[in-house]
Homo-oligomer: A and B are copies of this chain.
Amino acid sequence: MIYSLQNLWQEVRDLTLGPPPRVDRLPSPPSPLQFLRHYVGPNKPCLISAAVPDWPALSLWPSPSYLRETLASTAVSLHLTPTGKADALAPGSPNSSPCFAAAHVEKLPFPEALDLVKASDLGEIKRVAYLQQQNDCFRAEYGPLAADCEGHVPWASEALGCLPEAVNFWVGNRFSETSFHKDHYENLYVVISGEKRFLLLPPTDVHRMYVREYPAAQYIYHRDSEEFELKLEEPVRKVPWCSVDPYPSPNNKSSEIDKFPLYFNGPKPFEVTVKAGEMLYLPSMWFHHVRQSTDDSTLTIAINYWYDMQFDIKYAYFNFLQSIPCSLFENRVMCETASSSEKCSFDDED
Protein backbone atom coordinates (compact mmCIF):
# COMPACT_ATOMS: atom_id res chain seq x y z
CA MET A 1 0.00 0.00 0.00
CA ILE A 2 2.93 2.34 -0.64
CA TYR A 3 1.13 5.09 -2.42
CA SER A 4 -2.39 4.37 -1.56
CA LEU A 5 -5.05 7.02 -1.47
CA GLN A 6 -6.40 5.36 1.64
CA ASN A 7 -3.29 6.38 3.55
CA LEU A 8 -3.86 9.99 2.52
CA TRP A 9 -7.50 9.95 3.61
CA GLN A 10 -6.57 8.46 6.93
CA GLU A 11 -3.53 10.62 7.56
CA VAL A 12 -5.31 13.92 7.12
CA ARG A 13 -7.84 12.73 9.71
CA ASP A 14 -5.16 11.43 12.09
CA LEU A 15 -2.97 14.52 11.83
CA THR A 16 -5.35 17.41 11.95
CA LEU A 17 -9.05 16.73 11.54
CA GLY A 18 -9.63 14.08 14.16
CA PRO A 19 -11.97 11.16 13.65
CA PRO A 20 -15.31 11.80 11.90
CA PRO A 21 -18.12 12.54 12.37
CA ARG A 22 -17.25 15.49 14.65
CA VAL A 23 -15.59 18.82 13.88
CA ASP A 24 -14.12 21.31 16.38
CA ARG A 25 -16.76 23.27 18.26
CA LEU A 26 -15.88 26.73 19.59
CA PRO A 27 -18.07 28.38 22.23
CA SER A 28 -17.70 31.80 20.59
CA PRO A 29 -15.92 33.33 17.59
CA PRO A 30 -12.14 32.82 17.43
CA SER A 31 -9.76 35.77 17.27
CA PRO A 32 -8.56 36.56 13.73
CA LEU A 33 -5.17 35.01 14.60
CA GLN A 34 -6.71 31.84 15.99
CA PHE A 35 -8.97 31.56 12.96
CA LEU A 36 -6.03 31.81 10.55
CA ARG A 37 -3.67 29.66 12.60
CA HIS A 38 -5.99 26.80 13.48
CA TYR A 39 -8.56 26.74 10.70
CA VAL A 40 -7.87 28.66 7.46
CA GLY A 41 -4.17 27.81 7.17
CA PRO A 42 -4.68 24.11 7.96
CA ASN A 43 -7.91 24.04 5.85
CA LYS A 44 -9.97 22.68 8.75
CA PRO A 45 -13.66 23.29 9.53
CA CYS A 46 -15.11 24.43 12.85
CA LEU A 47 -18.54 25.09 14.29
CA ILE A 48 -19.03 28.23 16.40
CA SER A 49 -21.80 28.13 19.01
CA ALA A 50 -22.72 31.68 19.98
CA ALA A 51 -21.61 33.15 16.69
CA VAL A 52 -23.84 36.20 16.24
CA PRO A 53 -25.50 36.88 19.59
CA ASP A 54 -26.20 40.52 18.79
CA TRP A 55 -27.93 40.14 15.45
CA PRO A 56 -31.54 41.40 15.41
CA ALA A 57 -32.10 38.80 12.67
CA LEU A 58 -32.09 36.03 15.30
CA SER A 59 -35.33 37.24 16.80
CA LEU A 60 -36.85 38.95 13.74
CA TRP A 61 -36.47 36.55 10.84
CA PRO A 62 -38.03 33.44 12.38
CA SER A 63 -41.32 35.34 12.44
CA PRO A 64 -42.84 34.93 8.95
CA SER A 65 -44.90 38.06 9.36
CA TYR A 66 -41.76 40.16 9.84
CA LEU A 67 -40.17 38.93 6.61
CA ARG A 68 -43.48 39.17 4.76
CA GLU A 69 -43.99 42.79 5.80
CA THR A 70 -40.39 43.94 5.44
CA LEU A 71 -40.12 42.40 1.98
CA ALA A 72 -43.71 43.04 0.90
CA SER A 73 -42.71 44.71 -2.35
CA THR A 74 -39.34 43.07 -2.91
CA ALA A 75 -38.77 40.79 -5.89
CA VAL A 76 -36.59 37.79 -5.09
CA SER A 77 -35.23 34.74 -6.92
CA LEU A 78 -37.07 31.48 -6.32
CA HIS A 79 -35.72 28.10 -7.38
CA LEU A 80 -38.29 25.47 -8.41
CA THR A 81 -37.67 21.75 -8.93
CA PRO A 82 -39.86 18.65 -8.86
CA THR A 83 -37.59 16.92 -6.33
CA GLY A 84 -35.93 19.51 -4.10
CA LYS A 85 -32.62 18.72 -5.76
CA ALA A 86 -31.21 21.54 -7.83
CA ASP A 87 -27.69 21.76 -9.22
CA ALA A 88 -27.77 18.02 -8.86
CA LEU A 89 -27.81 14.91 -10.99
CA ALA A 90 -31.18 13.90 -12.36
CA PRO A 91 -32.20 10.87 -14.37
CA GLY A 92 -32.32 11.82 -18.04
CA SER A 93 -35.17 10.90 -20.32
CA PRO A 94 -35.92 7.15 -20.25
CA ASN A 95 -33.17 6.22 -22.67
CA SER A 96 -30.46 8.64 -21.71
CA SER A 97 -27.94 8.78 -18.90
CA PRO A 98 -28.09 11.20 -15.95
CA CYS A 99 -27.70 14.91 -16.49
CA PHE A 100 -26.76 17.88 -14.31
CA ALA A 101 -30.07 19.64 -13.66
CA ALA A 102 -30.38 23.32 -12.72
CA ALA A 103 -33.56 24.64 -11.12
CA HIS A 104 -36.19 26.73 -12.83
CA VAL A 105 -35.61 30.25 -11.51
CA GLU A 106 -38.30 32.91 -11.24
CA LYS A 107 -38.33 36.40 -9.81
CA LEU A 108 -41.40 36.85 -7.63
CA PRO A 109 -42.56 39.20 -4.89
CA PHE A 110 -41.26 37.80 -1.63
CA PRO A 111 -44.65 37.01 -0.06
CA GLU A 112 -45.72 34.98 -3.08
CA ALA A 113 -42.35 33.19 -3.20
CA LEU A 114 -42.60 32.37 0.51
CA ASP A 115 -46.04 30.86 0.00
CA LEU A 116 -44.59 28.57 -2.64
CA VAL A 117 -41.73 27.53 -0.32
CA LYS A 118 -44.32 26.65 2.32
CA ALA A 119 -46.51 24.81 -0.16
CA SER A 120 -43.61 22.61 -1.31
CA ASP A 121 -44.52 18.97 -1.42
CA LEU A 122 -43.20 15.76 -2.92
CA GLY A 123 -46.54 13.94 -2.66
CA GLU A 124 -49.24 15.05 -5.01
CA ILE A 125 -47.84 18.42 -6.00
CA LYS A 126 -44.24 17.37 -6.71
CA ARG A 127 -42.92 20.90 -6.58
CA VAL A 128 -40.27 22.18 -4.21
CA ALA A 129 -39.51 25.89 -3.96
CA TYR A 130 -36.28 27.18 -2.41
CA LEU A 131 -35.48 30.85 -1.92
CA GLN A 132 -31.84 31.07 -2.89
CA GLN A 133 -29.51 32.46 -5.51
CA GLN A 134 -25.82 31.95 -4.99
CA ASN A 135 -24.85 35.18 -6.60
CA ASP A 136 -24.58 37.67 -3.76
CA CYS A 137 -28.38 37.60 -3.51
CA PHE A 138 -28.52 38.96 0.04
CA ARG A 139 -26.96 42.24 -0.99
CA ALA A 140 -28.63 42.29 -4.42
CA GLU A 141 -32.21 41.30 -3.52
CA TYR A 142 -32.74 41.55 0.24
CA GLY A 143 -31.71 45.15 0.90
CA PRO A 144 -34.53 45.76 3.43
CA LEU A 145 -32.99 43.09 5.71
CA ALA A 146 -29.50 44.60 5.71
CA ALA A 147 -29.83 46.24 9.13
CA ASP A 148 -30.79 42.96 10.81
CA CYS A 149 -27.35 41.39 10.54
CA GLU A 150 -23.78 42.30 9.73
CA GLY A 151 -22.66 42.82 6.15
CA HIS A 152 -19.56 40.76 6.83
CA VAL A 153 -18.00 38.67 9.59
CA PRO A 154 -15.66 41.18 11.25
CA TRP A 155 -13.14 38.72 12.72
CA ALA A 156 -13.02 36.77 9.46
CA SER A 157 -12.60 39.92 7.37
CA GLU A 158 -9.72 40.95 9.60
CA ALA A 159 -8.13 37.51 9.37
CA LEU A 160 -8.54 37.16 5.63
CA GLY A 161 -7.72 40.78 4.87
CA CYS A 162 -10.78 41.43 2.71
CA LEU A 163 -14.55 41.77 2.69
CA PRO A 164 -16.84 39.01 1.42
CA GLU A 165 -17.04 38.51 -2.31
CA ALA A 166 -20.67 37.40 -1.99
CA VAL A 167 -23.34 37.17 0.70
CA ASN A 168 -26.14 34.69 0.05
CA PHE A 169 -29.53 34.24 1.70
CA TRP A 170 -31.47 30.99 1.90
CA VAL A 171 -35.03 30.14 2.90
CA GLY A 172 -35.92 26.51 2.45
CA ASN A 173 -37.75 23.55 3.88
CA ARG A 174 -37.10 19.90 4.56
CA PHE A 175 -37.37 18.93 0.89
CA SER A 176 -34.48 21.06 -0.33
CA GLU A 177 -31.16 19.35 -0.69
CA THR A 178 -27.83 20.47 -2.14
CA SER A 179 -25.77 17.74 -3.74
CA PHE A 180 -22.08 17.15 -3.02
CA HIS A 181 -19.87 19.86 -4.53
CA LYS A 182 -17.03 22.18 -3.55
CA ASP A 183 -16.59 25.95 -3.78
CA HIS A 184 -13.51 28.05 -4.42
CA TYR A 185 -14.33 30.22 -1.40
CA GLU A 186 -13.77 30.34 2.33
CA ASN A 187 -17.36 29.96 3.51
CA LEU A 188 -18.94 31.18 6.76
CA TYR A 189 -22.43 29.82 7.11
CA VAL A 190 -24.87 31.19 9.72
CA VAL A 191 -28.21 29.57 10.47
CA ILE A 192 -30.94 31.92 11.75
CA SER A 193 -33.87 29.54 11.98
CA GLY A 194 -34.27 25.78 11.70
CA GLU A 195 -31.11 23.84 11.02
CA LYS A 196 -28.78 22.78 8.23
CA ARG A 197 -27.20 19.35 8.14
CA PHE A 198 -23.89 19.16 6.38
CA LEU A 199 -21.86 16.19 5.28
CA LEU A 200 -18.24 17.27 4.75
CA LEU A 201 -15.30 15.59 3.07
CA PRO A 202 -11.80 17.12 2.86
CA PRO A 203 -10.34 17.87 -0.58
CA THR A 204 -7.93 14.97 -0.14
CA ASP A 205 -10.95 12.68 -0.63
CA VAL A 206 -11.65 13.90 -4.18
CA HIS A 207 -11.49 10.42 -5.71
CA ARG A 208 -14.28 9.28 -3.40
CA MET A 209 -16.68 11.72 -5.07
CA TYR A 210 -16.41 10.06 -8.50
CA VAL A 211 -16.42 13.38 -10.30
CA ARG A 212 -17.58 12.79 -13.85
CA GLU A 213 -18.85 14.92 -16.68
CA TYR A 214 -22.60 15.23 -17.13
CA PRO A 215 -24.57 17.12 -19.77
CA ALA A 216 -26.10 20.33 -18.39
CA ALA A 217 -29.89 20.54 -18.30
CA GLN A 218 -32.47 22.96 -16.99
CA TYR A 219 -35.86 22.44 -15.37
CA ILE A 220 -38.62 24.48 -16.98
CA TYR A 221 -41.79 24.87 -14.94
CA HIS A 222 -45.07 25.23 -16.82
CA ARG A 223 -47.47 27.16 -14.63
CA ASP A 224 -50.56 26.14 -16.57
CA SER A 225 -50.02 22.39 -16.33
CA GLU A 226 -48.07 22.67 -13.06
CA GLU A 227 -45.52 20.33 -14.56
CA PHE A 228 -41.76 20.36 -14.97
CA GLU A 229 -39.89 19.68 -18.16
CA LEU A 230 -36.19 18.81 -18.02
CA LYS A 231 -34.43 20.19 -21.08
CA LEU A 232 -30.84 19.45 -22.08
CA GLU A 233 -28.81 22.50 -23.00
CA GLU A 234 -28.06 22.86 -26.68
CA PRO A 235 -25.34 22.77 -27.79
CA VAL A 236 -24.37 20.15 -25.20
CA ARG A 237 -22.37 21.55 -22.31
CA LYS A 238 -20.57 19.12 -20.00
CA VAL A 239 -20.38 19.81 -16.28
CA PRO A 240 -18.00 17.91 -14.01
CA TRP A 241 -19.99 16.93 -10.91
CA CYS A 242 -19.81 14.57 -7.95
CA SER A 243 -21.63 11.32 -8.72
CA VAL A 244 -22.30 10.23 -5.15
CA ASP A 245 -25.72 10.55 -3.50
CA PRO A 246 -24.96 9.90 0.18
CA TYR A 247 -28.62 9.08 0.92
CA PRO A 248 -29.73 6.65 -1.76
CA SER A 249 -33.26 5.23 -1.54
CA PRO A 250 -33.45 1.75 0.02
CA ASN A 251 -34.12 0.31 -3.44
CA ASN A 252 -30.94 1.81 -4.90
CA LYS A 253 -28.66 1.44 -1.93
CA SER A 254 -26.81 -1.70 -2.87
CA SER A 255 -26.30 -0.67 -6.48
CA GLU A 256 -25.00 2.73 -5.34
CA ILE A 257 -22.53 1.06 -2.97
CA ASP A 258 -21.35 -1.12 -5.85
CA LYS A 259 -20.92 1.91 -8.11
CA PHE A 260 -19.16 4.12 -5.56
CA PRO A 261 -17.25 1.85 -3.20
CA LEU A 262 -14.56 4.42 -2.35
CA TYR A 263 -17.25 6.66 -0.88
CA PHE A 264 -19.42 4.10 0.87
CA ASN A 265 -16.62 1.86 2.12
CA GLY A 266 -14.16 4.64 3.02
CA PRO A 267 -13.95 6.84 6.12
CA LYS A 268 -17.28 8.38 7.16
CA PRO A 269 -17.88 12.00 6.19
CA PHE A 270 -17.83 14.66 8.89
CA GLU A 271 -21.40 15.44 9.99
CA VAL A 272 -22.31 18.89 11.21
CA THR A 273 -25.74 20.14 12.21
CA VAL A 274 -25.77 23.93 12.31
CA LYS A 275 -28.54 25.28 14.51
CA ALA A 276 -30.02 28.74 14.90
CA GLY A 277 -27.35 31.19 16.07
CA GLU A 278 -24.48 28.92 15.09
CA MET A 279 -21.90 29.43 12.34
CA LEU A 280 -19.99 26.84 10.35
CA TYR A 281 -16.57 27.62 8.90
CA LEU A 282 -16.60 25.51 5.74
CA PRO A 283 -13.06 25.68 4.32
CA SER A 284 -12.43 26.26 0.64
CA MET A 285 -12.32 23.15 -1.56
CA TRP A 286 -14.15 20.92 0.94
CA PHE A 287 -16.89 18.81 -0.55
CA HIS A 288 -20.22 19.41 1.11
CA HIS A 289 -23.76 18.04 0.93
CA VAL A 290 -26.53 20.02 2.63
CA ARG A 291 -30.01 19.22 3.92
CA GLN A 292 -32.43 21.29 6.01
CA SER A 293 -34.51 20.79 9.16
CA THR A 294 -36.44 17.57 8.95
CA ASP A 295 -39.27 19.23 10.84
CA ASP A 296 -42.43 19.65 8.79
CA SER A 297 -43.30 23.17 9.74
CA THR A 298 -39.96 24.90 10.30
CA LEU A 299 -38.42 26.99 7.59
CA THR A 300 -34.65 26.95 7.50
CA ILE A 301 -33.29 30.47 7.12
CA ALA A 302 -29.58 30.99 6.65
CA ILE A 303 -27.06 33.49 5.39
CA ASN A 304 -23.56 32.75 4.23
CA TYR A 305 -20.45 34.76 3.45
CA TRP A 306 -18.09 33.80 0.67
CA TYR A 307 -14.56 35.14 1.04
CA ASP A 308 -11.95 34.78 -1.70
CA MET A 309 -9.66 31.85 -1.04
CA GLN A 310 -5.90 31.84 -1.58
CA PHE A 311 -4.76 29.71 -4.46
CA ASP A 312 -1.64 28.50 -2.70
CA ILE A 313 0.39 25.32 -2.35
CA LYS A 314 -2.67 23.45 -1.05
CA TYR A 315 -4.52 24.19 -4.27
CA ALA A 316 -1.56 23.01 -6.36
CA TYR A 317 -1.43 19.79 -4.34
CA PHE A 318 -5.17 19.32 -4.86
CA ASN A 319 -4.92 19.76 -8.61
CA PHE A 320 -2.09 17.26 -8.73
CA LEU A 321 -4.07 14.76 -6.66
CA GLN A 322 -7.23 14.99 -8.70
CA SER A 323 -5.29 14.69 -11.94
CA ILE A 324 -4.25 11.16 -10.97
CA PRO A 325 -6.74 8.64 -12.35
CA CYS A 326 -8.38 6.57 -9.61
CA SER A 327 -7.50 3.40 -11.41
CA LEU A 328 -3.80 4.14 -11.17
CA PHE A 329 -4.15 3.02 -7.58
CA GLU A 330 -6.23 0.00 -8.50
CA ASN A 331 -3.45 -1.00 -10.90
CA ARG A 332 -0.91 -0.40 -8.22
CA VAL A 333 0.86 -3.71 -8.44
CA MET A 334 1.69 -3.22 -12.09
CA CYS A 335 3.05 0.27 -11.52
CA GLU A 336 4.96 -0.69 -8.40
CA THR A 337 6.77 -3.41 -10.25
CA ALA A 338 7.73 -0.97 -12.93
CA SER A 339 9.09 1.45 -10.41
CA SER A 340 10.67 -0.55 -7.64
CA SER A 341 14.13 0.70 -8.50
CA GLU A 342 13.29 4.30 -7.73
CA LYS A 343 11.37 4.48 -4.51
CA CYS A 344 11.09 7.98 -3.17
CA SER A 345 9.93 7.31 0.34
CA PHE A 346 11.65 9.82 2.61
CA ASP A 347 11.75 10.88 6.17
CA ASP A 348 14.20 13.20 7.80
CA GLU A 349 16.90 11.68 9.84
CA ASP A 350 15.52 12.93 13.08
Report yes or no: A8 in contact with B325, Cβ–Cβ below 8 A: no
Chain B binder among A72-80, A267-275, A309-317: A309-317
What's the Cα separation between A345 and B310 when bound, in Å? 21
Q: A37-B159, A310-B42, A348-B183 in contact; A320/B7 too (CB < 8 A)?
A: yes
Name the CB-closest residue of B to A183: B348
- Set of chain B residues within 8 Å of A342, measured between Cβ atoms: 325-327
Q: In the assembled complex, which residues on chain B have CB atoms less than 8 Å from the CB atom of A211?
A: 344, 346
Residues of B within 8 A of A183 (CB): 348
Contact status A12-B313, CB under 8 Å: yes
Of the stretches A166-174, A193-201, A332-340, the one at the interface is: A332-340
Which chain B positions have C-beta within 8 A of A320? 3, 5, 7-8, 11, 204, 321
Copies in the complex: 2
Q: Does A158 contact B (CB under 8 A)?
A: yes
| Cross-interface CB contact of A33 among B2, B3, B32, B325, cutoff 8 Å | B32
- Please tell me if A202 contacts chain B, counting CB pairs below 8 Å: yes
**How would residues 263 to 299 of chain A score, 1 for a CB under 8 Å from any chain B CB and 0 otherwise?**
0000000000000000000000000000000000000
Per-residue contact bits, chain A 3-39, to B (CB 8 Å; 1 contact, 0 not) = 1010110011001100000000000000011101100
Select which of B206, B319, B327, B334 is within 8 A of A11 by beta carbon: B319
Contact (Cβ within 8 A) B325 A240: no
Q: How far is it, in angstroms, between the C-alpha of A36 and the C-alpha of B159 when the chains are bound?
A: 9
Docked complex Cα distance between A239 and B323 (Å): 32
Q: List 22 A-B contacts (CB under 8 A).
A: A2-B325, A7-B323, A11-B316, A11-B319, A16-B312, A16-B313, A16-B316, A33-B36, A33-B161, A37-B40, A37-B161, A37-B310, A181-B348, A206-B346, A239-B349, A320-B321, A324-B344, A325-B342, A326-B342, A326-B344, A328-B335, A331-B335
